[in-house]
């Protein structure tokens, strides 16, 4: 069975796109080949790994990737930007199917004490989780209960 390829794109590929990639894999790995990338990739944020691990999703081996790795090389059924910066700057490139925009606040930009920062990462994780699940319900791949 050919899986539809999905690319989650944000600026740094350190938090939001990593979370979206991991969560879509968690719920629908049998339906999608899931990737994430950044326009200006940074290391995966340690709190991204931590808050996903809290819900049983192991991303300790995830690495940040550049959009350049995919442009003109891979066809995606969906390219989903998860930040406004990526939405504005993302080029149209060969092999891009449906383009969606799911804007989420950048938890890595939050300034506060450690516990408040972790809470921000959890909140964004939960928002992305809800969006991924609702999208899968729309696709008819997840029960909406």
Q: Are 20 and 128 in contact (CB under 8 A)?
A: yes
Which position among 6, 10, 19, 124 bears the catalytic label?
10
Which position among 7, 23, 37, 83 bears the catalytic label?
83
83 is known as an active-site residue: yes
d(CA 116, CA 10): 23
Which position among 90, 128, 132, 136 bears the catalytic label?
90
133 is known as an active-site residue: no
Name the residues annotated as catalytic: 10, 83, 90
């Amino acid at each position: 069975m050919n899986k539809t390829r999905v690319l989650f794109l944000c600026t740094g590929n350190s938090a939001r796109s990593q979370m979206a990639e991991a969560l879509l894999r968690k719920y629908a790995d049998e339906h999608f080949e899931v990737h994430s990338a950044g326009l200006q990739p940074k290391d995966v944020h340690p709190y991204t790994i931590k808050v996903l691990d809290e819900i049983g999703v192991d991303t300790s081996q995830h690495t940040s990737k550049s959009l350049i790795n995919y442009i003109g090389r891979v066809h995606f059924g969906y390219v989903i930007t998860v930040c406004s910066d990526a939405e504005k700057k993302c080029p149209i490139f060969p092999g891009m199917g449906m383009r969606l925009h799911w804007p989420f606040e950048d938890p890595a930009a939050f300034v506060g004490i450690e516990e408040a920062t972790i809470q921000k990462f959890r909140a964004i994780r939960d928002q992305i989780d809800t969006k991924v699940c609702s999208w899968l319900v729309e696709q008819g791949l997840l029960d909406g209960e």
